[in-house]
Structure 1
Amino acid sequence: MRLSDFWRNLEHEFGPRYSHVLADTLSLTELGSLTANEALNKGIKPKQVWEAMCRAQDVPVERWLGVDIEPKQS
């Protein structure tokens, strides 16, 4: 997962404003109580952070892959 995918999924799941609040404040126990932003800054992979956030916020597994992106028209 790219960092841009992480942010797109987070914003889609939690909204453009609340997602950034969560990334700054939600302590992720399974990542040593780091916030998402702290974990990303320490080099933890975005997919690992995203999945930790999903578990912490009880996001249904079927939504963990995020939204489908429409292909660009040529």
Structure 2
Amino acid sequence: MRLQEFWGQLRSQFGDLRGESIARDHVFSAFEGRTAVGAIEAGVPVRTVWLAICEEFDVPVKAR
């Protein structure tokens, strides 16, 4: 998954504002207390971050 695709999926699932907030403000224990953006910047694969968001926010399997 590319970064551009990640942002598109995030906005598609959650809307522009909520998607941005989830990525930049929500802290994930799976990423040692980092946000999604922080995890990506730390080298976590984008697909792994997307799947963690899906798990945390109960995104339907078909949308993952």
TM-score by length of 2: 0.92
Offset, 1:33: 2.2
**CA distance, structure 1, for counterparts of residue 27 and residue 61 of structure 2:** 20
**CA distance, structure 1, for counterparts of residue 2 and residue 44 of structure 2:** 12
Instruction: Count residues with an aligned counterpart.
Output: 64
Offset, 1:55: 0.3
**CA distance, structure 2, for counterparts of residue 33 and residue 60 of structure 1:** 24
The one-letter amino acid paired with 1:51 is L
**CA distance, structure 1, for counterparts of residue 61 and residue 32 of structure 2:** 22
Q: Unaligned regions of 5+ residues in structure 2, if any? A: none
Q: Unaligned regions of 5+ residues in structure 1, if any? A: 65-74
Q: Which of the two has greater strand per residue?
A: 2
The one-letter amino acid paired with 1:8 is G
TM-score by length of 1: 0.81
Matched, 1:46 2:46: yes
**CA distance, structure 2, for counterparts of residue 63 and residue 40 of structure 1:** 20
Higher radius of gyration, 1 or 2 = 1
The answer as to whether partners of 1:31 and 1:52 remain within 8 angstroms in 2 is no
Q: Deviating runs (4+, > 6 A) in structure 1? A: none
**CA distance, structure 2, for counterparts of residue 5 and residue 39 of structure 1:** 16
Aligned to 1:69: none
Name which of structure 1's ranges 49-58 and 21-30 shifts more when overlaid on structure 2: 21-30
